[in-house]
Amino acid sequence: MTKTILFLCPHGAAKRVLAAAYFQRLADERGLPFKALSAGTDPDPVMNAAVIDQLRGEGLPVPGQAPRLVTDADLHSAVHTISLGCDLTGKLPAGVEALDWSDVPPVSADLPAARRAILAQVEQLIADLEASH
């Protein structure tokens, strides 16, 4: 049974895109039964062009959809929710807590630093999931 990991960033245009792509690649490589889902809490109309270039440069698939607003169904279906700088006050279902990755620098200020921080967090999450799975 595949379980959903939900990645959220405010604009849904950069950080969540990187986190979901790195997570899915690592989960697939390790044969873990998880799928990445991502959205924004106040989505921009388009994805960040530099992030698209970064993913393509690494041979990772680029999501075909524009940033979208997180739904209640997304929040209820996830076994883990990761917030990359979102205010989730009052949005999470009762008893659900989000992992807070708000220490990731803004992509617009320093894409390489944001990429490194996101990848480190994703690698740790994968290791934690492997250990508990």
Query: Domain residue spans in the chain?
Result: 3-132
| pLDDT of residue 53 exceeding 90 | yes
Count of alpha carbons within 13 angstroms of residue 10, beta-carbon side: 8
| pLDDT of residue 44 exceeding 90 | yes
3-132, superfamily in CATH?
Response regulator (3.40.50.2300)
| pLDDT of residue 1 exceeding 90 | no
pLDDT digit string (tens) for 62-103?
988 899 999 999 999 999 999 999 999 899 988 888 999 999
pTM: 0.95
Q: Which amino acid is at 45?
A: P
pLDDT digit string (tens) for 108-120?
999 999 999 999 9
Helices 49-57 and 15-29 pack at an angle, to 10 degrees, of 20
